[in-house]
A and B are shown apart, each in its own frame.
Chain A
Amino acid sequence: MAHETHANTLPAELGAPAFVDGWKTRALAIGSVFSVIAVVLAVADGSIDHVLRAWLLGLMLTFGFSVGGLALLLVQYCTGGKWGLLLRRPLEAMSRTLPLVFAYWVVVAFSLKKLYLWAAVSDVSAALKSGWINEAQAHAIEFKRPMLNPGAFIWVSLLCFAIWAFYTWRLNDLGLQRDAASPATTPEWIKRFENISGPGIVVYAITMSAAAIYWVMSLDPTWYSSVYGLLFLVGQGYQVLALSIIVAVSLSKGEPFRTILRQTEQHDLGKFTFAFVMLNIYLAFSQFLIIWSGNLPEEIPWYLDRFKGGWGVIITLDFLFHWLIPFTLLLSRDLKRNKKRLVRVCQWMVFAKAFDLFWLIEPNFKDAARNLHFSWGILEYVAVPVAMTAFWVAFYCTQLKARPLVQTNDPHVAEILEAEHVDA
């Protein structure tokens, strides 16, 4: 009678519910429709430039889900916690989408000259004379040539992909072996995963920074910020947690997530997401404050490109979308405990992340810097990322179906099955 707890039991069937196939079909349909729209827009615009810029946005977004998912997987193996057990298989599935992200990246690797000024300019002095680039750009391109050249771009990226693939394979492979092993070996498994994941987080931070610097920051060869890698790292936490909540809550319409997703863990994930919303604005604002205070000619043009000529509207909206709205909504305890509303906020956050990437990417290009203007091409920023993300979601659904959704060889399993309340 005293302190009795009603433990739930894990359902016999731990595979992803059948409706995941429905998501996949829907994602493929959306992807196809938006691909067609992207092609139509490219024809209307008469140029492929914006397709590639928007493609880079789509790459960064899906890359964030995939490698960010891997990072959160590494983190939860080190921290433990029931939220980690809950998300383990969904995060593993995110990490296994790496091949698709690699395919997306290959397109960028073949379009270096179209996207990156440092790749397009081979003869710096001629370009300077013709007025194509200014003196600061000429100096930066020449000075940074050992780092910013196509060979370095491709080799560094390939090395990063190889490292991410290694961790993905290692964690996914061992994850299945762990479930097959006897419960007596659990403590060893916990140690083993910690030992892989701890250094893995450091390696991830370094490789992720390299990727963010090469793929996005180098779009403007004159500018640098030492917090840039961290900004993307926190951004990945932001979008991955949002996506994880969407996935976990959506999966809870069927077994096994109906049993294991308790309100407590949902609330915990909401709080965790709130922390990333805070950290995200903290880093973004401190970068701005430092550069604004310094007001140096090497640094400030990057912000001027993004504030003037109509971009002020975009950055104001970005501030509202990316921080103020999720921040004020996630303050509410009731909202974090309400499945439907929490999912709405998380969907909004994924959109806000894409919106922020638009502000980061588009003003790097000469025609758009300090000059926000309409062209058919700019609509590619909607069509291409939506199509790419939709295809990514379809691939993700396939990965989600590939293995059981709950890791069973873990002491947290018994805890997550306990009833949440002392009941009379």
Chain B
Amino acid sequence: MPPREGTYGLLAEFDTPGDLIRAARQARLDGWRRLDCYTPYPVEEAAEAIGFHRNKVPLVTLVGGLIGLVAMFALETWVSVWAFPLNIGGRPTYSWPAFLVPAYEWTILFAGLSAAFGMLALNGLPALYHPLFNAPNFRNGATTDKFFLCLEALDPKFDLSKTKAYLENFKPVSVVEVEY
């Protein structure tokens, strides 16, 4: 795939989460859909402001947990009933109460791993490159004390000069154009 070229989006920098949220909320109200917030720490309101919808992590976790449960229970049943049946104190080979504990542990293990790796995968991680790091103020500020709103060029409303003027309305510290 040839490298993408052109403008990725316009990045507005704010000093406080309040300013960011106000801008993000307004942009969403004005019809922007391809936009994202970047903050140095989790700001739940920022996610709400840009209409963050549900993700699939809970579903991935549930499916992972169920796979773990079924896999371990089936393994134990197979070992104890068919592969290597043992008479333990006259108890039946299919001793489901004893199978529940490892099956439960595998449910937790698989659910936990699915949640962690599912989250990373659905986030698109690991990503070796992201255009936003081309902006020097983003590189320095996004993990320390600055709050960013990015309106992306993929949005049909995007127009380099008009959007820049639009973002200036929110009185950001700066608005910079980000290249791919």
| Cα–Cα distance between A2 and B19 once the two chains are bound (Å) | 8
Beta-carbon contacts under 8 Å, A136-174 to B = none
Stretch of B67-75, B94-102, B119-127, B157-165 with 4 or more beta carbons under 8 angstroms from chain A = B94-102
- Contact (Cβ within 8 A) A422 B98: no
Q: Which residues of A contact B18 (CB under 8 A)?
A: 1-4, 422-424
B89 at the A interface (CB under 8 A): yes
| Cα–Cα distance between A3 and B98 once the two chains are bound (Å) | 54
- Contact (Cβ within 8 A) B101 A2: no
- Contact (Cβ within 8 A) A1 B97: no
B4 at the A interface (CB under 8 A): no
User: Which one of A2, A4, A292, A424 lies within 8 Å of B97 (CB-CB)?
Assistant: A292
- Contact (Cβ within 8 A) A422 B21: yes
Q: Mark B6-40, 1 if CB is under 8 A from A, else 0.
A: 00000000011111011001000000000000000
Known contacts A422-B18, A424-B18: does B98 contact A293 (CB below 8 Å)?
yes
Q: Which residues of A contact B16 (CB under 8 A)?
A: 1-3
| Cα–Cα distance between A293 and B25 once the two chains are bound (Å) | 60
| Cα–Cα distance between A423 and B44 once the two chains are bound (Å) | 11
User: Which one of B15, B45, B101 lies within 8 Å of A289 (CB-CB)?
Assistant: B101
| Cα–Cα distance between A44 and B25 once the two chains are bound (Å) | 68
Q: Which residues of B contact A1 (CB under 8 A)?
A: 16, 18
| Cα–Cα distance between A2 and B17 once the two chains are bound (Å) | 8
- Contact (Cβ within 8 A) B21 A2: no
| Cα–Cα distance between A122 and B16 once the two chains are bound (Å) | 80
A224 at the B interface (CB under 8 A): no
- Contact (Cβ within 8 A) B44 A424: no
Q: Which residues of A contact B44 (CB under 8 A)?
A: 421
- Contact (Cβ within 8 A) B97 A288: yes
- Contact (Cβ within 8 A) B97 A289: yes
- Contact (Cβ within 8 A) B45 A295: no
- Contact (Cβ within 8 A) B98 A285: no
Beta-carbon contacts under 8 Å, A293-325 to B = 293, 295
| Cα–Cα distance between A120 and B118 once the two chains are bound (Å) | 62
Q: Which residues of B contact A4 (CB under 8 A)?
A: 18
| Cα–Cα distance between A3 and B19 once the two chains are bound (Å) | 10
| Cα–Cα distance between A289 and B102 once the two chains are bound (Å) | 13
| Cα–Cα distance between A251 and B16 once the two chains are bound (Å) | 37
B91 at the A interface (CB under 8 A): yes
Give min CB distance, B115 to chain A, whole Å. 12
Beta-carbon contacts under 8 Å, B156-176 to A = none
| Cα–Cα distance between A288 and B100 once the two chains are bound (Å) | 12
- Contact (Cβ within 8 A) A295 B101: no
B79 at the A interface (CB under 8 A): no
Closest to A333 in B: B58
Give min CB distance, B109 to chain A, whole Å. 16
Give min CB distance, B32 to chain A, whole Å. 17
Beta-carbon contacts under 8 Å, A1-52 to B = 1-4
Q: Which residues of B contact A3 (CB under 8 A)?
A: 16-18
Closest to A282 in B: B104
Known contacts A1-B16, A3-B17: does B100 contact A422 (CB below 8 Å)?
no
Q: Which residues of B contact A424 (CB under 8 A)?
A: 18-19, 21-22, 25, 45
- Contact (Cβ within 8 A) B21 A289: no
- Contact (Cβ within 8 A) B97 A422: no
Q: Which residues of B contact A295 (CB under 8 A)?
A: 89, 91
| Cα–Cα distance between A1 and B18 once the two chains are bound (Å) | 8
Q: Which residues of B contact A421 (CB under 8 A)?
A: 44-45
- Contact (Cβ within 8 A) A422 B45: yes
Closest to B46 in A: A422
Q: Mark A391-424, 1 if CB is under 8 A from B, else 0.
A: 0000000000000000000000000000001111
- Contact (Cβ within 8 A) B89 A423: no
Closest to B24 in A: A424
Q: Which residues of A contact B135 (CB under 8 A)?
A: none
Q: Mark B38-51, 1 if CB is under 8 A from A, else 0.
A: 00000111000000
Q: Which residues of A contact B21 (CB under 8 A)?
A: 422-424
The winner among B16, B19, B25, B100 for most chain A CB atoms within 10 A is B16
| Cα–Cα distance between A224 and B129 once the two chains are bound (Å) | 64
Give min CB distance, A411 to chain B, whole Å. 24
Give min CB distance, B31 to chain A, whole Å. 19
Give min CB distance, A361 to chain B, whole Å. 23
| Cα–Cα distance between A421 and B17 once the two chains are bound (Å) | 11
| Cα–Cα distance between A292 and B90 once the two chains are bound (Å) | 12
- Contact (Cβ within 8 A) A289 B17: no
| Cα–Cα distance between A424 and B20 once the two chains are bound (Å) | 8
- Contact (Cβ within 8 A) A285 B45: no
| Cα–Cα distance between A3 and B41 once the two chains are bound (Å) | 14
| Cα–Cα distance between A53 and B89 once the two chains are bound (Å) | 37
Q: Which residues of B contact A (CB under 8 A)?
A: 15-19, 21-22, 25, 43-45, 89, 91, 97-98, 100-101
Q: Which 10 A-B pairs have the closest CB atoms?
A: A424-B22, A2-B16, A424-B21, A424-B18, A421-B45, A422-B17, A292-B97, A289-B97, A422-B45, A422-B18
A-B contact sample (20 more), CB < 8 A, given A1-B16, A1-B18 = A2-B15, A2-B16, A2-B18, A3-B17, A3-B18, A4-B18, A289-B100, A293-B98, A295-B89, A295-B91, A421-B44, A422-B17, A422-B21, A422-B43, A423-B18, A423-B21, A423-B45, A424-B18, A424-B22, A424-B25
12 residue pairs bridging A and B, Cβ less than 8 Å apart: A2-B16, A4-B18, A289-B97, A289-B98, A289-B100, A292-B97, A295-B89, A422-B18, A422-B43, A423-B18, A423-B45, A424-B19
